[in-house]
Structure 1
Amino acid sequence: MARAAVWHVPVTVTGRTTSLRLFRLRDGRRCAVGFSSAGALAELLGPEQSAVELGEPALRALTAPLGVDELVLDPRLSALPVTGPADARPDAGHPASRSGARLQRR
């Protein structure tokens, strides 16, 4: 009997709590993601990204109560690349920007 595929699923770890990390599709719907290897996960989300190994049925069972029925396997980055350092912003020369000061609403 063939062994079921195991997916590397990104999670967020806070103290002793581990939570599945959910993402959004281009149309705004939430989705879960799984990667076929730890290397593929690290390549897209970075080497510091925590992950757990889950089979597809388990991942679907965990996300279904949240109303998440989309699963993306081995996703690719779809965001536009960052064009320059943060100091290249148009407001970077403004004194409030350099000091970290923020305007407050009244």
Structure 2
Amino acid sequence: MDEGPRIFAVPVHTLPGRQLGTVRTGRTPQGQRVGIAFTRPDLLASAMGAEQPWVKLCESALRSMLRPLGIDRIQVDPLLVAPAVSIPSTVPVPYRGAPALVGAKRC
């Protein structure tokens, strides 16, 4: 029996006043950029909060959106998606990193 396409709940960034959004990406603790996806919307809400916008995407569509960014890895069901922890320095630097992922499993 053939399985259908793998469908994910994928967090997105939205722009105020626009219906256009972009998929969210993150970084592993080692610094590798990854796509973020969840097998169920409740797992997304647990990791990112109930207010996080998301869309349903099949795996192939998500991969095609990540490919131009040079991202070939998808973290599935991370337990926590949070801003990267930075070490304080004497000169404040604005945050420019992607969210960090904790406890994620790889597709």
- TM-score, normalised via structure 1 length: 0.69
CA offsets 1:3-49 (integer angstroms, 9 cap, x no match) = 22210000011023211111111111111011011100001100000
Separation in structure 1 between the aligned mates of residue 52 and residue 37 of structure 2, nearest angstrom:
13
Give the aligned partner of residue 3 of structure 2.
2
Percentage of matched positions with identical amino acids: 34
- Residue type matched to 2:41 in 1? A
Q: How far did 1:77 drift?
A: 2.2
Cα distance between partner residues in 2 of 1:78 and 1:9: 13
1:13 and 2:26 equivalent? no
Structure whose residues are more often strand by fraction: 2
Stretches of 4+ aligned residues off by more than 4 angstroms? none
How many corresponding residue pairs?
79
Matches within 5 A, 1:1-106: 1-14=2-15, 15-77=18-80
Contact 2:48/2:80, CA 8 A, preserved across alignment: no
Structure with the largest fraction of helix: 1
Task: Describe the SS at the equivalent of 1:72.
Answer: strand
Larger radius of gyration: 1
| Residue number in structure 2 paired with 1:100 | none
5+ residue gaps, structure 2, are: 83-107
| Structure 1 residues 40 and 78: CA distance shift in structure 2, 3 A | closer
- Give the gaps of 5 or more residues in structure 1: 80-106
Mapped to 1, the partners of 2:3 and 2:49 lie a distance apart of: 31
Q: In 2, distance between residues paired with 1:78 and 1:63?
A: 18
1:73-98 deviations in Å (ceiling 9; x for gaps): 1112276xxxxxxxxxxxxxxxxxxx
